[in-house]
Amino acid sequence: MMLQYLALAAILFAIGIFGVLTRRNAIGILMSLELMFNAVNINLVTFNKFIVPDNLTGQIFAIFVIVIAAAEAVVGLAIVLLLYRNWQGIDIGNINIMKW
């Protein structure tokens, strides 16, 4: 049963990666990141349940991940807003000032 959960998480993570790699919209990327976080969380919880059921460290970790993800989302979205304000757009493809 555990493998099914892990596979699910892997699929979700892969989709998240796909999103991160392909979205132009910065918000889209953030959303894809959330997907990846969730995949990770699923993994954590799964491992907690099937491998170390004695304590709930996996879930605690998941909680921390959620918290961090929330913070990330907040800051990320603030940056997106800033980008939008300064660049008149949030197309991550155009924001390549670090280009060679």
For other proteins, the binding residues in 2-61 under the rule CB under 8 A are: 2-8, 10-25, 27-32, 34-35, 38, 41-42, 45-46, 48-57, 59-60
Strand partners, 25: 91
Which positions from 63 through 92 interact with other proteins, judged by CB under 8 A? 63-64, 66-75, 77-82, 84-85, 88-92
CA-CA distance, 39 to 45, in Å (whole number)? 10
**Least distance (Å) from other proteins to the CB of residue 47?**
9
CA–CA distance, 22 with 15 (Å, rounded to integer): 10
Positive or negative CA dihedral for 100, 82, 66, 3? Answer: negative
Question: Min. distance of Cβ 40 from other proteins in angstroms?
Answer: 11
- Minimum distance of other proteins from residue 65's CB (angstroms): 10
CA distance linking residue 94 with residue 84, whole number of Å: 12
